[in-house]
Amino acid sequence: MLDFIQQLVSGIALGCVYGLIALGFVLIYKATEVVNFAQGDLMMLGGFFVFTFIGLMGLDYWLGFLFAVCGMAVFGMATERILVRPILGYPQFSIVMATIGLGYFLRSIAGMIWGTDDLRIETPFSAGVLKVGDLVLAHDKLSVIVATVILCVVLYAFFNYTRMGTAMRATSENMLAAYYMGIPVKRVVSLIWAISAAVAACAGVLLAPITFIHSNVGLVLGLKAFPAAVLGGFGSIPGALVGGLIIGVIESLAGFYLPQGWKDIAPYIVLLVMLVVRPHGLFGPSMRKKV
């Protein structure tokens, strides 16, 4: 039983990371119908940024965190401006391929700049554990869970109670109509990319003490976050988090209870089953083209 809870908690922590990456997918997808395959790599870049600020420049953890997130937000905007805006409105698969290309590019460049060794940083959560009875919970994992909850509350408030948030929701309902209503769609979209890259950066920073910082970490986790986003229904923000949690928990439990090998494919099997049973995920709207 104790094992089970232990596994459950690490599954939830992992799931939060997936959820955060998936959240980035969903934000961008909802607003622009672009599926950003490089979302995991944005997370990876966030990790490297924080390594640069903390590990190399010796800044304080929180300051480094802040800088990394801001840096990534700017990077997200630049990506939108340079790569995505010119091809917006073209077939979805072209855009998907463009972001796959971006991912490839970022991975290699990160490898060339920061090397291909595993990097570590010291964080306030690196070592400590929380003991509840016999249960031992590592601080780094708990920090991920807590941070995810905080981030979700902030995003929720932003989308529901600010003007910009409302504009974003309008844009994601119908870009053209929003534009006609005088919403600065271009600015909104670039802000969405900024937010989504910033969320990815948070995930990257939170993950840094748990796994190493490495140029391939984004690919590996990004490909797990995908099933998460799909499981939740690609257009749904709470869905992304729930999907992330499901995938994280499944992976963690499968790794513990099932023979070797299942851990890596269990999320995909669940995904395929899900797609067959409910093609639009748990919370996704099923829309049909009207003729």
Partner 1 sequence: MRFVFKTDYDQDIRILKHSGYWWSYGVLLAVLVAAPFLLGSYLQSQLVFVFIYAIVGVALMILTGFTGQASLGHAAFLAIGAYTAGFLQSHGVPFIVYFPTAAVLTGVVGALVGFPALRLTGIYLVIATIAFAFIVEEVLARWESVTHGNEGMRVRTLDLVGVPVPRDSASFYFLCLLVLVGTVLLALNLLRSPTGRAFVAIRDSETAGKSMGIDLAAYKVKSFAISAAITGMAGVLFAHKMTFISPEMFTLLLSIEFIMVIIIGGAFGVHGAILGAIFMVMIDPFLTALKDDVPVLAASVASSFGMAQDAATLLQDKLSKIGSAAGLKGAIYGLIIMMFILFEPYGLYGRWLKVKLFFQLFPLYKRATFKRQKTYVKSERNR
**Integer Cα distance of 171 and 134 in angstroms:** 50
Partner that binds at residue 184, options partner 1, ligand ATP, none, CB closer than 5 to 8 Å by kind:
none
Residue 187: which of 25, 20, 32 has the closest Cα?
32
**Integer Cα distance of 231 and 228 in angstroms:** 5
| In the complex, least distance from residue 48 CB atom to partner 1, rounded to whole angstroms | 13
Residue from 2, 56, 57, 108 in contact with partner 1 (CB under 8 A): 108
Whether the CB-CB separation of 129 and 140 falls below 8 Å is answered with no
Instruction: Identify the DSSP state of 52.
Output: I
| In the complex, least distance from residue 288 CB atom to ligand ATP, rounded to whole angstroms | 5
| In the complex, least distance from residue 290 CB atom to ligand ATP, rounded to whole angstroms | 5
**Integer Cα distance of 50 and 205 in angstroms:** 6
Residue number with the smallest Cβ distance to ligand ATP: 290
Residues 31-50 that bind partner 1 (CB under 8 A): 33, 35
Apex 82 CA angle, 189 and 30, nearest 5: 25
Residues 25-64 that bind ligand ATP (CB under 6 A): none
* Beta-bridge partner residues of 135: 132
Residues 116-155, one symbol each (x = binds partner 1 by CB under 8 A, - = not), give: x---------------------------------------
Instruction: For 128-159, give one letter per residue: b (16+ CB within 10 A) or e.
Output: eeeeeeeeebbbbbbbbbebbeebbeebeeeb
Residues 260-289, one symbol each (x = binds ligand ATP by CB under 6 A, - = not), give: ----------------------------x-
The distance between the two most distant Cα atoms of the chain, rounded to a whole number of Å, is 61
Residue type, 125: F
Residue from 90, 156, 180, 257 in contact with partner 1 (CB under 8 A): 90
* Residue 18 makes contact with partner 1 by CB under 8 A: no
Residue from 19, 55, 76, 103 in contact with partner 1 (CB under 8 A): 103
**Integer Cα distance of 142 and 135 in angstroms:** 13
Whether the CB-CB separation of 25 and 36 falls below 8 Å is answered with yes
* Beta-bridge partner residues of 136: 131
Partner that binds at residue 146, options ligand ATP, partner 1, none, CB closer than 5 to 8 Å by kind:
none
Q: Which two structure tokens, joined as six digits, stand for 237?
A: 């923000």
Instruction: Identify the DSSP state of 138.
Output: E
Residues 175-214 that bind partner 1 (CB under 8 A): 175-176
* Residue 163 makes contact with ligand ATP by CB under 6 A: no
Partner that binds at residue 287, options ligand ATP, partner 1, none, CB closer than 5 to 8 Å by kind:
partner 1
Q: Which is nearer to ligand ATP, 131 or 289 (CB)?
A: 289
State the residues that interact with partner 1 by CB under 8 A. 29, 33, 35, 83, 86-98, 100-112, 116, 174-176, 215, 223, 226-227, 230, 234-235, 261, 264-265, 268-269, 271-272, 275-276, 279-280, 287-291
State the residues that interact with ligand ATP by CB under 6 A. 288, 290
